[in-house]
Amino acid sequence: MPSMRTIEAQPIANRYARGWHCLGLASEFSDGQPHTVNAFGTRLVAYRGDDARFHVLDAHCPHMGADLSHGVVRNNSLVCPFHNWSWGCDGICNSIPYSITIPPTARVKSWPTCEQNHLLFVWHDPAGKSPSAELDIPRIDACYSDDWNDWVMEKWTINTNCRELIDNVSDMAHFISVHGVPVEYFANIFEGHKATQVMLGKSSQLAMEGGLLTYATYYGPAYQITEMKGEMGGFTIDSILLNCHVPISLNSFDLRFGMLVRKIPGLGEEQNQEMARTYIKFTQQGFYQDVAIWDNKVRIDNPLLCEGDGPIYHLRRWYQQFYQDDGEVPAAAREHRVFELNPGGLSTAPPLHHVFER
């Protein structure tokens, strides 16, 4: 008699992924006030200075441990609420009101940031290396076009390890059982820091007559953009989905889900906004379904797979590169690889490419 498969789960390594992480809409940090960010097992503070640039610092003052996110922004510096020590955007203390000299070690970590697509990003690397240009967040032209509605954003705190979210990239079968979306075609493309899911499926709420075709690409470990074409109320709906997360701890993360929806010609501004809100609501329901599963499952390092499952083991090898120092990542983890599943028996597959790449 065959032996039973035993679920294995190693302790989660005390390390957070190397890469760009999206903190949400840049406008949320544009009021000249300090903002608390719980991330990477610590507390950060984000603010925009008089230089109109966004800055992120470690939030705990090394003087007496106060929370700098409860302080005030002065010019490009952050003033501690406890003793008014002033910390520049480079993390170096530049003023102590009751001391002529400043200790040479008076500095806190300053985190690299970037603003793109009206979103604010912070760079995390345990080794302290700066991001290379090839990892730049790509521009989404729709963000800067009057033909599209602005981002509509939701934020949820999920109490599990963020690998559960990443597994969805290769988990074809759950689209049918969890989301009720029969899949005609499914593929994954892995290349460098990018991982893409191509899916052609059917959705009673969102799909057109020809099916729901999506291209979803992760740029690094935590920022995914999806291009989707669907239908609602007799209108063709073009949309762009944002799925990004920031780990709070090893067992929790903030998930931000956003959408851009192209305006429908002939409809007024208010009608377009209402159409976008309704379409977004239907799409968000899918994430609620995933969260219900995550809330009740266990971590598993050795999933028992069958031929209809996607390349979850390869996905995890790709994802593991972000938990290694850049110079230690094996070349195989970044190789161009394509995996295809064709449950619908299509004679012609959709073109295989990363999102927005033709």
pLDDT at 121: 98
Digit-coded pLDDT (tens) for 108-145: 999 999 999 999 999 999 999 999 999 999 999 999 99
The CATH class for the domain spanning 19-135 reads mainly beta
In whole numbers, what is the pLDDT of the chain averaged over residues? 93
Among 10-19, 101-110, 175-184, where is mean pLDDT lowest?
175-184
pLDDT at 108: 98
CA–CA separation, 13 vs 301, rounded Å? 13
Task: Check residues 153 and 53 and name the one with the higher pLDDT.
Answer: 53
pLDDT at 110: 98
Domain ranges across the chain: 19-135, 141-341
Digit-coded pLDDT (tens) for 287-331: 889 989 999 999 999 999 998 899 999 999 999 999 999 999 999
pLDDT bin (cut points 50, 70, 90) of residue 203 is low
Average pLDDT over every residue of 212-233: 91
258: left (phi over 0), alpha (psi -120 to 50) or beta: beta
Fold of 141-341: Naphthalene 1,2-dioxygenase Alpha Subunit; Chain A, domain 1 (3.90.380)
Whether residue 276 has pLDDT greater than 90? no
pLDDT at 211: 67
Hey, which residues does 107 pair with through a beta bridge?
Answer: 92
Digit-coded pLDDT (tens) for 230-270: 777 777 888 999 999 999 999 999 999 999 999 988 888 88
Whether residue 208 has pLDDT greater than 80? no
Whether residue 210 has pLDDT greater than 70? no
Average pLDDT over every residue of 182-188: 95
How is 71-132 classified by DSSP, letter by letter? SEEETTEEE-TTT--EE-TTSBEEE-TT-SS--TT-B--EE-EEEETTEEEEEE-TT-PPPP
Q: Can you say how many angstroms the Cα of residue 47 is from the centroid of all Cα atoms in its chain?
A: 20
CA–CA separation, 14 vs 9, rounded Å? 15
pLDDT at 180: 86
Q: Cα angle at 185 between 184 and 189, to 5 degrees?
A: 160
- The answer to whether the predicted template modeling score (pTM) of the entire model surpasses 0.85 is yes
CA–CA separation, 334 vs 320, rounded Å? 11
Whether residue 206 has pLDDT greater than 70? no
pLDDT at 205: 47
Whether residue 207 has pLDDT greater than 50? no
* In the block, residue with structure tokens 């002529």: 100
pLDDT at 209: 45
Whether residue 279 has pLDDT greater than 80? no
CA–CA separation, 102 vs 86, rounded Å? 11
